[in-house]
Each structure stands twice: as structure tokens, then as C-alpha cells.
Amino acid sequence: MYKPRVLLTDPLHPDAQARLSQWAEVERIPDGLVREGSDDFLRTAMARVQGLVVRRLLPPDLFDRPHTLRCVMRQGVGLDFIPVPRATANGIPVGNTPAVNANAVAEYVFAALLAHARQLAAFDQRVRAGDWGVRAQAGARTFELRGRTLGVIGFGAIGQRIAAIAHQGFDMPVAVCTGTPGKVPPCFTALPLEALFAASDFVVVACPLTPQTRGMVDARVLAHARPGAVLVNVGRGPVVREDDLAQALADQQLGGAVLDVFETQPLPDDSTLRRHPRVLLTPHLAGITQEAERAMGVLAVDTLAAVLLRGERPPNIVNPEVFGQPARASD
């Protein structure tokens, strides 16, 4: 029985791996390869694999060489890891796994908001140092989420889930900035970017990285922020200009920031954000939970099976126009 060969850039959830192994020959980029070695391995592999599951940045020229690829899957939502226009030009379908990690990201957002509102890290540090009396400061230093306005930039599956939890779970007014304001339900308020910052106690960046959103949250926009507001970025790092963010924090224009993504990843050692006491940093893990990992892996595998085994056109293929053109396998 013919089995297509599928290359994984990184491990899958065990359930997804077992599912894939039932119908495909599976290989992985070897552990320990640095960026150049990984890119070279990928370029060589393109001539022998039919499927590719992506969780790291691909070289921009990867699809411009002879290949046997018939489908590329992004395990996740953001497509900035993949040169989609080049894949489309070469007749390669590209898919992602939208919505399945939306709840994981949304729960991270509220963990971050609550950690800031209740100053958990600061009080933990004082208790460990033996300062039980710090509890006397709780009334002055902490606050509740209920009634405070949450601004959400981006209204895809993640933005919608964040807004729903805020509205239904915490009784927070919600403002939304999106390119499709007509889709915002009447229980939320659609606002342009500057007005959203002016109206919000918390602002969550949950939009994808596009030419239009790159650098969108800059000094000009941050100048409109409500004093003491907290910025949370679970979208993409380059949407926010980090130098401008650091200055807004230094000027007390913002009360704090929670950052899961960065302009450069990993976050450089010399970043001023590392040393700022009102900034909480995590390593791009908002969408990573046991449940989300399994759901993303299974959807990636099932989409590959639909394309490679059954010749279907799944709805989560982001460049469906390729199905109307012949694949350029080795020209």
C-alpha cells in the first residue's frame, strides 16, 4: 500500500503522531540542527516528501526548487512562518488550524489580566522574603476586572473568544478594532485603533501579522492610551513597536504589559523589556495547552489526509485557488 511521506519540522502531540503514522511515512528534522542546518535539511527534503507540517520559520526560497510537495500544513494559525505566495505560485496548497487553540489563548489572556490586577508576582515575591505585612497594601494596589473596559484588536476566532469571556464571564464592556466592523455584534463597540486605546483599561492584540498590521501599535497610537492601561500581546510581536512600548512604560503612559510574542524571538538579551518591573514575559506559549496541542495536531493530520489521500479541498486551505491550477512538481 502506498504511503505518502510527511515531514514534521517539530514534534506532534502523541495522538496526532499515532494518527499520522497509520497512513504516512513520517520523518522529522533531526534534533540539534541550528537555523542554517535546519534550512538545508528542509531544502533537501522537498524532493522526497509529499506533506510538510510547520511550526518554525521556513526559508523564503523553499518552494522555488524541484519538489514533490502536495500540501503544507501550519500547526497553528499565523501564516508568517510560511512563504504562502511562493507556495501558491508553485501550486502547493497551504493550510492552517484556525480556531482550535482560541480558548487556550483566551484563557491565557485572562490569566495575564488577573495576575496584573491582583499583583500576584509582586505579592509572591514579598511573602517569600518574609513580608507578610505586605497584605496591608492589597487594597491600594489591586483591583477587579468587572466593569473595566477591554479593548480587543482583531476579531477572528481568538478575538471573539476573548470578547465573549470578558462580556459573559467578567461583565466587562468590550471595544473591538477590526477591519470588518460590520461583523461586531451590538453587545460590543467597534472603534478605530486610537479611540480603542483611549477607551480601554486593557488592550489585547489578537490580530495576525500582515503588511497593514506590522508596526501598527506605535508611539502615535500609544499616546492615546488611557493612563495606567495594560497592553497584552498574544498576536504577533512585530505588530507592536517594542521601543515605543518601552518608552510608553517609562513615561507612565501604560500601567504594564504582558507579552507572549516579540519583534525578535527569542527575546534578545539586551531588550529593556527584560528588566522592566511592570512587564510580564512568556515564550510564545499562549496557545499551547494539552488540549490545544492535540486539537491542532489532529486537525493538521486530518487536513493532510484529506488532500494527500482523498484529493479533497478542505475549508482550512488558505490558498484554495491552487486547486484550479496544475502543481509544478519539478519544473
Residue 56 is classified by DSSP as S
- Tell whether the model's pLDDT for residue 248 goes beyond 70: yes
102-281 has which fold? Rossmann fold (3.40.50)
The C-alpha cell that represents 293 in the structure block: 496541542
Whole-structure pTM value = 0.89
Tens-digit pLDDT profile for residues 54-98: 999 999 999 998 999 999 999 988 898 999 999 999 999 999 999
Query: Binning pLDDT at 50, 70 and 90, where does residue 182 land?
Result: very high
Supply the pLDDT for residue 2.
83
Tens-digit pLDDT profile for residues 297-307: 999 999 999 99
Supply the pLDDT for residue 325.
64
Beta strands in the chain (DSSP E): 5-8, 25-28, 51-54, 71-74, 94-95, 150-153, 174-177, 189-190, 202-205, 229-233, 254-259, 279-281
Average pLDDT for the chain: 95
Each domain of the chain, given as residue ranges in start order, spans 5-99+290-324, 102-281
Residue 167 backbone dihedrals phi, psi, to 5 degrees = -70, -50
Supply the pLDDT for residue 326.
55
- Do domains 5-99+290-324 and 102-281 share one topology? The answer is yes
Tens-digit pLDDT profile for residues 255-281: 999 999 999 999 999 999 999 999 999
Of residues 327 and 196, the one with the higher pLDDT is: 196
Query: Binning pLDDT at 50, 70 and 90, where does residue 125 land?
Result: very high
Supply the pLDDT for residue 100.
95
* CA separation for the pair 37, 34 (Å, rounded): 5
Contacts of 178 (CB under 8 A, 6+ apart): 153, 154, 155, 159, 184, 190, 207
% helix, strand, coil for the chain, step of 5: 40, 15, 45
Looking at 133-235, list the stretches that DSSP marks H as alpha helix, in order from N- to C-terminal side.
138-141, 157-164, 170, 193-199, 219-222
Tens-digit pLDDT profile for residues 19-31: 999 999 999 999 9
Query: Binning pLDDT at 50, 70 and 90, where does residue 35 land?
Result: confident
Looking at 55-182, list the stretches that DSSP marks H as alpha helix, in order from N- to C-terminal side.
84-89, 102-117, 120-128, 138-141, 157-164, 170
- Tell whether the model's pLDDT for residue 330 goes beyond 80: no
Instruction: Report strand pairing: 279-281 vs 51-54.
Output: unpaired
Tens-digit pLDDT profile for residues 140-156: 999 999 999 999 999 99
Question: What percentage of the chain exceeds 90 in pLDDT?
Answer: 93
Which architecture characterizes domain 5-99+290-324 according to CATH? 3-Layer(aba) Sandwich (3.40)
Supply the pLDDT for residue 328.
52
- Tell whether the model's pLDDT for residue 331 goes beyond 50: no
- Say if residue 66 is exposed, middle or buried (CB neighbours under 10 Å; 0-12, 13-18, 19+): exposed
Supply the pLDDT for residue 13.
96
- Tell whether the model's pLDDT for residue 128 goes beyond 50: yes
- Tell whether the model's pLDDT for residue 34 goes beyond 90: no
Strand partners, 217: 240
* CA separation for the pair 61, 87 (Å, rounded): 10
